[in-house]
Amino acid sequence: MSQETMKALVYHEPGKISLDDVPVPKISAPTDVIVKVTLSTICGSDIHIYQGGLSDVKYPKILGHEFCGEIIELGTAVEDFKVGDRVAVSCLAYCGECFFCQEGFYAHCTEPTCGCFGVYAPEGCQAEFVRLPYAEKCMYKIPEGLTEEDVLFVGDILSTGYYGAERAMIQTGDVVVVVGAGPVGMCAMISAGLFGPSQIIAVDTNQSRLDVALKEGIADLALNPKDIDVIAKIKELTEGRGADRTIEAVGVSPTMDLAVGAVRSGGVVSTIGVFEKSFELHLERLWAMNIYLSMGFVPMNRVPQLIKLIEKGKINTNFLITHRAPLNDILKGYDIFGNKKDNCLKWLVTPYVR
């Protein structure tokens, strides 16, 4: 490629990011692919990193891990793709062969070049180009008839929301509470709906987000802890028992307390929040109630199924797209999305305009 440098959003240290000129990535292994980023996002995790929340992130680092791209260069070992293919990319690069990959825990891949884009080893997607290590494992062709917008979230927040619902082990007729109505919580509501619950209850202190969840039909009821005793209300709705399953999608103490407090004995608490700080959890209560507790980083093993569900019209996440601007304006995006201004749910980053 003739272009030597590209624009990229670089994290320099906690509290410091800038749009810099950096070298364009090159193929460095036969299994690599270089994609031109056609659409990406700012994710809540990027904000955590920017604020210094994920202390194991090494800098300088190009941020961003939710994206689609067009293949511009292929390593010699890449067989099933060609230049020009449009792909949705998983937020995780993984080798597929190490112990944890064999076990299906791709986030724990031990190959040094792998991990979450823009967080661990691979550089991120808030740039003009990205190198995908073990590319055939982490990229998925976008089906004819679907746009980048349609599938953009499969590689991160939709997979995460689905993981929360799947690990909640929802049974037909269950009452499911989702604590946190941000983009990930909304993806958990969308996914929970696939498992046949009788009721999905959204909980958040942000009323405008609750209103979106109701308007889009992804929640049946919305409860705002600012207005109501949420746990008492859920018990009232469930003959005093509590919800069958609760999904926590934030990762802080008050929301975890709500998820634990609202679940019934024998129920499931499934959390997909990103926890930065340790806090007290009432294990004596969870033990006495026979609660199944699930947590952890999404393994990204459902992307093909999610693309199929989108293709067949069973899932639609396009309402999450509230803002869109070129890479040139990404610092504005960090401010607006990061500070939850202007009812922003998802800030999309379109290619840099020269």
Site for Zn ion in 105-124 (CB under 5 A): 109, 111
Check binding of 166 to Zn ion (CB under 5 A).
Answer: no
Across the chain, the runs of DSSP E, i.e. the strands, are 5-13, 16-23, 33-42, 61-62, 67-74, 86-89, 92-93, 115-116, 129-132, 139-141, 175-179, 199-203, 221-223, 243-248, 263-271, 292-295, 321-326, 346-350
Beta bridge partners of 294: 270
Q: How many residues bind Zn ion (CB under 5 A)?
A: 9
Check binding of 101 to Zn ion (CB under 5 A).
Answer: yes
Q: Omega before 60 cis (within 30°)?
A: yes
Q: Contact with Zn ion (CB under 5 A): which of 27, 98, 194, 252?
A: 98
Taking the least distance from each CB to Zn ion, the nearer of 103 and 342 is 103
Interior/surface letters 39-63, b for 16+ CB within 10 angstroms, e for the rest: bbbbbbbbbbbbeebbeebeeebbb
User: What residues contact residue 296 under an 8 Å CB cut-off, 6+ apart?
Assistant: 107
Taking the least distance from each CB to Zn ion, the nearer of 187 and 231 is 187
214 vs 47: CA distance, rounded Å: 26
Check binding of 154 to Zn ion (CB under 5 A).
Answer: no
Which is nearest to 129 in space by CA: 40, 215, 225? 40
Check binding of 62 to Zn ion (CB under 5 A).
Answer: no
Check binding of 310 to Zn ion (CB under 5 A).
Answer: no
Check binding of 156 to Zn ion (CB under 5 A).
Answer: yes
Q: From the centroid of its chain, how far is CA 241? A: 31
Taking the least distance from each CB to Zn ion, the nearer of 157 and 327 is 157
Backbone φ and ψ for 151, nearest 5 degrees, come out as -110, 5
Check binding of 37 to Zn ion (CB under 5 A).
Answer: no
Min CB(119)–Zn ion separation in Å: 8
Taking the least distance from each CB to Zn ion, the nearer of 31 and 45 is 45
Taking the least distance from each CB to Zn ion, the nearer of 27 and 98 is 98
Taking the least distance from each CB to Zn ion, the nearer of 182 and 242 is 182
Site string for Zn ion, 68-97 (x = CB under 5 A): --------------------------xx--
Interacting residue ranges for Zn ion, rule: CB under 5 A: 43, 45, 94-95, 98, 101, 109, 111, 156
